[in-house]
Amino acid sequence: MTAPNLTAAAGPDYGSTVFGGWRRAAAADWQAYTRHEFVRRLGDGSLPRAAFLHYLVQDYVFLANFARAWALGVVKAGDLEELRAAAATVDALVNQEMRLHVTACAAAGIAEKTLLAAEEEIENLAYTRFVIDAGLSGDFLDLLAALAPCVLGYGEIGAWLGDAADDKTYADWIDSYAASDYQALCRSVGRLIDRAAAARLGAAPEASPRWADLCRTFRTATRLEVAFWDMGLRGGR
Amino acid sequence: MTAPNLTAAAGPDYGSTVFGGWRRAAAADWQAYTRHEFVRRLGDGSLPRAAFLHYLVQDYVFLANFARAWALGVVKAGDLEELRAAAATVDALVNQEMRLHVTACAAAGIAEKTLLAAEEEIENLAYTRFVIDAGLSGDFLDLLAALAPCVLGYGEIGAWLGDAADDKTYADWIDSYAASDYQALCRSVGRLIDRAAAARLGAAPEASPRWADLCRTFRTATRLEVAFWDMGLRGGR
Amino acid sequence: MTAPNLTAAAGPDYGSTVFGGWRRAAAADWQAYTRHEFVRRLGDGSLPRAAFLHYLVQDYVFLANFARAWALGVVKAGDLEELRAAAATVDALVNQEMRLHVTACAAAGIAEKTLLAAEEEIENLAYTRFVIDAGLSGDFLDLLAALAPCVLGYGEIGAWLGDAADDKTYADWIDSYAASDYQALCRSVGRLIDRAAAARLGAAPEASPRWADLCRTFRTATRLEVAFWDMGLRGGR
Amino acid sequence: MTAPNLTAAAGPDYGSTVFGGWRRAAAADWQAYTRHEFVRRLGDGSLPRAAFLHYLVQDYVFLANFARAWALGVVKAGDLEELRAAAATVDALVNQEMRLHVTACAAAGIAEKTLLAAEEEIENLAYTRFVIDAGLSGDFLDLLAALAPCVLGYGEIGAWLGDAADDKTYADWIDSYAASDYQALCRSVGRLIDRAAAARLGAAPEASPRWADLCRTFRTATRLEVAFWDMGLRGGR
């Protein structure tokens, strides 16, 4: 087993110059998130099983609320393409990804009723409610800036670990985000972001007076991802 | 061609005693909606083509906003089953029913871009925005009371015309709502309503202090369906 | 009694170039709204009393929902000044203007419980729910584009009739909108609009890709004002 | 200086049996919140100045978002009295309490621009966004269950310290919550809660199927108050 390559270049931008810009503006937090100790230890297999299981349970609760945030995207969609993308994502999260999670947890000995009875950790709660409020208070693009770190960050982590990790302990988890269909989803969300930004900010998004706010939203969501990994590492205490 | 049987008994309650109660409390408006002249003339084929096409175009805009209202149901879901039902409905509306509508309109000579450029009639706008606000201001059950007249009323109309109408002019439209899969959808929404009511109002929903408000929401939505048919009959002017 | 001067130049822009632009883009509808027969007959005193009272009752219900829309402005405020302006407006509408309405209605022989029991007309419902949904689906500026026609249009109507009308039948109503404090409120909302636009669209709002959408929102709200006057004229039937 | 009496009986229920019930169901967390070390040290004057100032700055950001949550109460109000109470509270928070905070902070040497530039701590963010989402996903009563721990808990803390503390270091802070007008506000919110519960749950709220959920919301908000004090004690690090 070798440690994942820590000096990896910046991850893929999934075809989105806007995401690229947001990530640059949050570079230190993005690094703390995507190269977090929890992530590295998923990669080298040293993450305690209990921490992983605690994370899995919290992530199930996270998914339900993350789907609610994407549903707000349906409410706020500005045109048909945004409507379709958000609707498909909600359904995929609720009726596919959450079910896969139930299966994965069952394989790990966690019953579905344990998932449902789990007390939501404060870091978990903070993250999803922040995303929902970013959507409620802003427009579709503000919502995307809050959703992006999770969707695309997991893509980057999956791609990195899929490449760099050779330990097999958490290979199932890694494979699900390194997989070509997840990477394709990231590219389609990347396109959605650039398209939504062009429709609202024009051809030079970084010159918009909203740019600083969008960067702040993205960065706060990234900080909350870091806190989520911290919570995972703390592992149910 | 014979006129549809006007003395038809009350329609199916789709297994929902709550829906049955709401419908009884709005009996006159419900009758005006489900036995509207627009509906009868769909049944006997006397509805002018222009009125039907005008309705189809407006209904496309309606569907987009109705999907947004169901998405608010995802945001407001109280448990997994509510979350799954709402998410599946959003996706079905946006990624199936709206596409079928595009096909049906194309068959009638209406290009998709005509659909998208259509100016929304005030009756159309009034209805969907009322439903969305009922959801925003209330809880999941308040939202269902506003959604129910459309979903279940079209079921009742489809079942009635499918049975009573023998004119073929609008058979495609009638068949889509008389069809067993649409009728099954109605039964599943009926179950969702009773389940949501039980979880919030208890075993005797009609005894709840919220009952009168829920009935009012249902009745207002029903009145807005009547106005929608009026608008359809007016036929693009 | 003389008829108000119908060839009045365009009303004041309340110091807002953005409002001026929105109004130009909706010129025909704006004219139909601010020079509506209902308005003219308020001015020359020929409006039937029953129509006025019907309007007053509906306007009370309108105010409650309009206050809810401004409350969404508090939820969506982007900075302290937007927060303060929206909060002060909500309180003024609910705890001052609605109370004045109760007094005015009482003077006209309409009891408060009649106000509360009034069935909301569809044109009334359409308007406020559209504004609320514009706020829910968009950002603070989208909400302002939907709120502006009511606030500033009543200012323009008040200023025009205050100037041109010499009949005294509806002088109380006219005076309340011609009054310097209402005109000052209009200027402060004008400033709020330009400030909110600058913060989101930059120095050339009309060049923003959002401009067409904002104009459409403003125009739809203006059309709904026209429908509201139509409803008033219909006068309770 | 003496330590505040730690064995104080349960605080006032502000005339609200519903609040009393919620508090009982969250007894351990309520105790952890209202008798938190941060609170005790406010009382005996041992709280480090830096911790207090850090708390003040975070509390300013908190107030802005808490006002947004109350504004959601205006959006969700079920009748005139709920509308008026929520509107008055929003205005009081934004246009009075936040201004007092600016004054208090200035007296402590913290400029208003420092307040506005403060980075929101995760515990702060978690709390207000949870409250906003409780309102968005539920009805007016769900929102009140999330708002109550802050409003009424500060009342209880103020009353307790006002009574038990004789150190003067933080007397200004203590006095503002021990003051008769704040205590009166608590009683009026207590009435609002019982009234809102009666209108939605009937005469026996604890027998409602919603009771467990409301208790959970109240308890989560209480846990988030504990985390807020923890953050305050950590004091800006």
Residue pair B152/B188 in contact by the 8 Å Cβ criterion? no
Question: Mean pLDDT in runs of 10 for chain B (237 residues)?
Answer: 48 94 98 98 96 94 97 97 95 90 90 91 97 98 98 97 92 95 96 98 97 98 98 82
Q: In this predicted model, what pLDDT tens digit does every residue of A224-235 receive, in sequence order? A: 999 999 999 998
Nearest CA in chain D to C91: D87
Phi, psi of D95 (to 5 degrees): -100, -5
Residue pair A153/A145 in contact by the 8 Å Cβ criterion? no
Per residue, what are the HEC states of C94-142? HHHHHHHHHHHHHHCCCCHHHHHHCCCCHHHHHHHHHHHHHHHHCCHHH
**pLDDT of res. A18:** 98
The one catalytic residue in B97, B121, B123, B225 is B225
**pLDDT of res. C11:** 83
Residue pair B231/B118 in contact by the 8 Å Cβ criterion? no
Residue D9's pLDDT band (boundaries 50, 70, 90)?
A: low
The one catalytic residue in D150, D156, D186, D215 is D150
Q: In this predicted model, what pLDDT tens digit does every residue of B94-113 receive, in sequence order? A: 988 998 899 989 988 999 89
Interchain contact C83–A (C-beta under 8 A): no
Query: What average pLDDT does range A163-176 have in this prediction?
Result: 92
CA distance C204 to A205: 14
Q: Residue D3 pLDDT > 70, yes or no?
A: no
Which chain B residues are Cβ-neighbours of C126 within 8 angstroms?
A: 122-123, 125-126, 129
pTM of the model: 0.95
* Lowest mean per-residue pLDDT among B210-219, D42-51, D97-106: D97-106
Residue A220's pLDDT band (boundaries 50, 70, 90)?
A: very high
Q: In this predicted model, what pLDDT tens digit does every residue of A52-109 receive, in sequence order? A: 999 999 999 999 999 999 999 999 999 999 999 999 999 999 988 998 899 989 988 9
- Pull the structure tokens for residue B120: 């929304």
Residue A8's pLDDT band (boundaries 50, 70, 90)?
A: very low
Nearest CA in chain C to D133: C75
Residue pair A96/A157 in contact by the 8 Å Cβ criterion? no
CA distance C151 to C145: 11
Alpha helices in chain B (DSSP H): 17-25, 27-34, 37-44, 49-76, 80-92, 98-107, 112-117, 122-137, 140-164, 171-178, 180-201, 211-234
* Chain C / chain D CB contacts < 8 angstroms: 73
Residue pair B90/A71 in contact by the 8 Å Cβ criterion? yes
Q: Do D87 and C74 make contact, defined as CB atoms within 8 angstroms?
A: no
| DSSP at B235 | T
Interchain contact A18–D (C-beta under 8 A): no
CB-based burial label for C230 (10 Å; 0-12, 13-18, 19+): middle
- Smallest Cβ–Cβ distance between D68 and the set C68, C74, C98 belongs to C74
- Smallest Cβ–Cβ distance between A133 and the set D122, D132, D224 belongs to D132
Which chain D residues are Cβ-neighbours of A125 within 8 angstroms?
A: 126, 130, 220, 224
Which chain B residues are Cβ-neighbours of A94 within 8 angstroms?
A: 74, 83-84, 87-88
- For testing contact with chain B, the best of D79, D133, D139 (most B CBs within 10 A): D139
Sign of dihedral through CA atoms B225, B228, B230, B235? negative
- Pull the structure tokens for residue D23: 């508090």
Alpha helices in chain D (DSSP H): 17-25, 27-34, 37-44, 49-76, 80-92, 98-107, 112-117, 122-137, 140-164, 171-178, 180-201, 211-234
Q: In this predicted model, what pLDDT tens digit does every residue of D172-215 receive, in sequence order? A: 999 999 999 999 999 999 999 999 999 999 999 999 999 999 99
Q: Residue D72 pLDDT > 80, yes or no?
A: yes
- Smallest Cβ–Cβ distance between A125 and the set D120, D130, D136 belongs to D130
CA distance B73 to B213: 18
**pLDDT of res. D104:** 87
- Pull the structure tokens for residue C74: 């508090």
At the topology level, CATH places domain A16-234 in Heme Oxygenase; Chain A (1.20.910)
- Smallest Cβ–Cβ distance between C71 and the set D64, D71, D132 belongs to D71
CA distance D119 to D237: 13
Residue pair A89/A148 in contact by the 8 Å Cβ criterion? no
- Where do we find the tokens 């009875």? A117
Per-residue pLDDT of chain C (237 residues; tens, 9 = 90+): 344 444 445 688 999 999 999 999 999 999 999 999 999 999 999 999 999 999 999 999 999 999 999 999 999 999 999 999 999 999 999 988 998 899 989 988 999 889 988 999 999 999 999 999 999 999 999 999 999 999 999 999 999 999 998 899 999 999 999 999 999 999 999 999 999 999 999 999 999 999 999 999 999 999 999 999 999 999 855
